[in-house]
Structures are given as structure tokens and as C-alpha cells.
Amino acid sequence: MRTHLTRAHSSFGGIATVVLLLASAPHAAFAQNAERDKPSGPAPVHDLWGMWAGPNEGLLSNRVPMMTPAGRAKLDANIPDPFSASSNDPWKTCDPFGMPRGVNNQYGLFGFAQMPGRIIILNAFNRTWREVWMDGRKVPQNIGHEGGPSAMYNGYSVGHWEGDNTLVVETVGMDERTWMDRRGYPHSVDAKVTERYTRIDFDHVSMTETVDDPAYYTQNPFLFAKQDYRLVANQVNLNAPIPFTSDRLCIPSQASDYLKLIGVPADIDSATGQKK
């Protein structure tokens, strides 16, 4: 037991160190590797280290397969648009995006921190992180069902490299309260999500997000979202007026004020067709 605790404590210390390195001293952290600072070149092998930037919103498929009756009922109950009073989007109250939404909504600046046995994916939005186990461990069975472990907002993620330049992340056990995207697509607790990050060259990564959820969708798996990102060469926010990453936070009290002061008076509900 002691060994287990010590290891867990040590692991958290490792994560905290990496987060601190990325957040507080990016130049120092990367100055040691001149290769990383080259403006272009071939993709290094099994290496996604650093921060990546792109559009805040992923490109979401308009070809989502036919849904099962259970899935359709969930979709109909989800009313999108966090800026309108009638919405029940978790974003409206700054609830966690979790997975799979976390990588297709407000994912415009994120990073990979690689360490032995795992990769940490850091998201500048809400300054959150998730862990992807690379040490060959298996995800638990029966998550979210009687006798199994609880589902989690970010699920349980394991990963592996495919060839030299593609990181494949497989996630299961995602809490059903999370939406799949800002449009309100639902997922069941048995859904499996696969992210593929392909480093095309030194500066570019292409991401796809694939969903496998027979409980809610009739053709599986299917491509759900994709987006391209560029390496942030100096490891800070691309367009920041000062070289530090700025806050991108969802703050409940401010979100509530926004609705009261703008969302309702401007009647965003009617303008977007939420209210007839």
C-alpha cells in the first residue's frame, strides 16, 4: 500500500512539474533542444512535445449516422447555445466539457507533455489536463455499470504510436452528462472515442476524432470531428501581446451575468431560432 501511495504521489509530482515548466518557463524548457525551435523540417519520431495552436472550434461532421431511438431522444433533449437563456448546454454553467467534446470545442491551444509511460494533454481553455497511459495497461471493463468503476468526465484513456508519427488515443468510460460537441450530440456510457494526432511535418499536426457508440448511433465507427494545428514555435500564445499564455476561463458568475445582461435582453434565443 505504501509503495502504491508513494508512486501515486510521485506521479502527481511529475505532472505538476511538467505543467509548471510549460506554464511558467517555456523558453527555458525548450531552449535545451534547438531542434524544436527550427521553423520547419521533418516530423521527429514519436514526439509531439510542446504547444499547438489552431482554430478554437473543430470541424464537426455533418454526416453523423442515423441515431437509435435512445440516441435521438437524448439529442432532442439537448438544447445548444451557451449564450441563450433556453439552452441546457453544460457550457452555459461552465460544467466540464469532458470527452469527447474537450478536443473539438475551445481546443485552439493545447499541448503534449510526454513522460515515461504516459502523455499528458494540456488544454489552455480552463487550463485543464488529461492523461493518456502509454504503458500498455488495459482500460477497466464494465465502466459505468453495476459492479464496474464509475464513468468520468474525461473517461479512461490509453494510447499507442502507430508508425513514427501518429499518436492514437482511445477513450472509454465517459460520463453521459458530457455532450459530444457544442451542437448537443449525446453519447452513451459505452461509447468509445479514438483521437488520432498525425504529425505531418515538424510544424503541423492533423487531428481526427472517431466515435463508436452502437447504443446511440447505427453505423459505427464514424468520423465525428477533425482539425489541423500548428506548432507554437516559441511555445507561447501565438498572438499574445506579451509572451505568456492568457486566461481562457469559463467562470460561472461571469457566464450568469452575461446571460442576464446581454443574452436575455438581446433575445439571442429568437435570433438563433431557439424560440419561436
Partner 1 sequence: MTMRFTPALFFVAMVALGGVAYAHHGSASYRQEPTTLKGVVTRVNWGNPHTLLFFDYKDAKGEVQHWVAEANAASTISTTGWTKTAIKDGDTVTVVFYAAKNGQTVGRVGKVVLADGREFGDGSLIGDRPSVCDDEFTTGGNEAAACRPGGRITNNDQQR
Residues found near partner 1 in the complex (CB under 8 A): 53-67, 72, 75, 80-84, 105, 108, 181-185, 218, 226, 230, 238-241, 246-251, 254-255, 257-258, 261-263, 265-268, 270-273
Which lies closer to partner 1 via its Cβ, residue 57 or residue 203?
Answer: 57
CA dist., res. 62 & res. 83, Å (int): 22
Report which secondary-structure segment, H or E, holds 222: strand 222-231
Nearer to partner 1, 36 or 72 (CB): 72
Determine the Cα–Cα distance for residues 256 and 252; give it in Å rounded to an integer: 6
CA distance 153 to 145: 15
Pairing of strands 50-53, 118-123: unpaired
- 214, three cell numbers: 452502437
Residues with Cβ within 8 Å of residue 261, at least 6 apart in sequence: none
Q: Min. distance of Cβ 60 from partner 1 in angstroms? A: 5
What do you get for the CA distance between the two ends of the chain, in Å?
60
What's the closest the beta carbon of residue 47 comes to partner 1, in angstroms?
A: 22
Residue among 84 and 194 whose Cβ is closer to partner 1 = 84
Identify the DSSP state of 21. Answer: H
- Closest contact distance (angstroms) between CB of 81 and partner 1 is 4
DSSP-assigned letter for residue 55: -
Comparing CB distances to partner 1, the nearer of 33 and 270 is 270
Length of the chain: 276
The least CB distance from residue 46 to partner 1, in Å, is 26
Closer to partner 1 by CB, 15 or 85: give it.
Answer: 85
Q: What does the H/E/C string look like for 107-151?
A: CCEEEEEEECCEEEEEECECCEEEEEECCCCCCCCCCCCCCCCCC
Min. distance of Cβ 5 from partner 1 in angstroms?
A: 38
| Residue 101: CB minimum distance to partner 1, A | 11
Instruction: Pick between residue 26 and residue 82 the one whose CB is nearest to partner 1.
Output: 82
Minimum distance, C-beta of residue 118 to partner 1, in the bound complex (Å): 28
Nearer to partner 1, 11 or 126 (CB): 126
Q: For residue 38, what is its C-alpha cell? A: 527550427
Q: Which residue is listed with cell 519520431?
A: 45
